[in-house]
A = this chain, B = another copy of it.
Amino acid sequence: MTDPILRLDEFLPYRLSYTSNLVSGKIAQVYQSLFGLSIPEWRLIAVLAEQPGTTQQAIGSLTGMDKVTVSRAAVSLVERELVEKTPNPDDRRSQFLSLTQTGRQLYAEVAPKAKEMEAAIFSALSPDEQFMLRHLLLRIDAAAS
């Protein structure tokens, strides 16, 4: 047998993906069962709560989601009347998205639940370590993009 040249379980791209899947899986389940939201939908809502009036294209480039994914999430949220589109007078191709009253109410329920889940999972790390992790991830983003 060939000597393995690489230890998969120390290979960072793998470790990152493994942990990310684990965490996303747990969380997706809760968004879905409690609020009927997919992860893209939840992200849209989270962005719009912070930055009402964002366009789909901006949401896509901000979150790294494909524009098709964003489009679908937007359609579905508009149907559920959680999000509304208002015309962009400067560019009639795009529209400004924002949360409706109902959308804001939902956000007010989802967000604390999200933080709670984050706390539950990441309480294994000290606040310093959590800070460090964010910092490391951002530097990887910069190197990988």
Q: Which residues of A contact B (CB under 8 A)?
A: 1-2, 4-8, 10-24, 26-27, 39, 43, 46-47, 49-50, 52, 63-64, 99, 104, 107-108, 111-112, 114-115, 117-118, 120-125, 129-130, 132-134, 136-145
Interface of A, secondary structure class, is helix
Q: How many copies does the complex hold?
A: 2
Given A19-B140, A22-B141, A136-B133, A122:B12 Cβ within 8 A: yes
Selected from B49, B108, B118, the residue in CB contact (under 8 A) with A12 is B118
| Given A124-B139, A124-B143, A144-B121: A17 and B24 interface contact (C-beta under 8 Å) | yes
Knowing A122-B140, A145-B22, say if A5 contacts B111 (CB, 8 Å): yes
Q: Across the interface, which residues of B come within 8 angstroms of A141, CB to CB?
A: 18-19, 22
Residue in A112, A125, A133 with the greatest tally of chain B CB atoms within 10 Å: A133
Which residues on B sit within 8 Å (CB–CB) of A121? 12-13, 140, 143-144
Q: Is the CB of B50 within 8 A of A4?
A: yes
Q: 7 shortest A-B CB distances, which residue pairs?
A: A20-B20, A124-B143, A5-B111, A8-B46, A4-B50, A2-B104, A6-B111
List residues of chain B with CB within 8 A of the CB of A143: 120-124
Give A122 to B141 CA distance when docked, in angstroms.
10
